[in-house]
Amino acid sequence: MYHPTLMTGDEQVVIDNERQREWIRVFSALASDARLQMVLLLAKGKLECQEILDRVDLSQPAISYHLGKLERAGILIKEKKGSRNCYRLDKRINGLIKIISGKEKE
């Protein structure tokens, strides 16, 4: 299988198959306006499902579908808060979110 190689400064980094599949899942999940909007909302901090529903113009079933897809891709972490679900970004993708939002130099 092809192993992509990245140059980071003077260092060459080879991405193994597992890491490559992980990034394919992440980028595939982000390839949706609705999911990208939710991720950028969550970049500001943890939100309950209802708070996301209040800010994104989609039905509750559609929000749940997209949140599930982001969670399965390893982008979101779901936490229970009593009977409510809260979502936060997995810290491993913070760098990617900074790049997407144009804040990579902060």
Which residue type sits at 37? Answer: Q
Counting Cα atoms < 13 Å in the Cβ hemisphere of 105 gives 1
- Residues 70 and 99: their CA atoms lie apart, in Å, by 18
- The two tokens of residue 57 are 């113009």
pLDDT in tens, 11-40: 766 677 787 788 888 889 999 999 999 999
pTM: 0.77
- Angstrom distances, CA of residue 9 to CA of 6, 14, 82, 87, 95: 10, 14, 47, 35, 17
pLDDT in tens, 36-64: 999 999 998 999 999 999 999 999 999 99
What ranges do the domains of the chain cover?
5-101
Pairing mode of beta strands 76-81, 5-8: unpaired
Instruction: Tell which CATH classification among 1.10.540.10, 1.10.3720.10, 1.10.3080.10, 1.10.10.10 matches the domain 5-101.
Output: 1.10.10.10
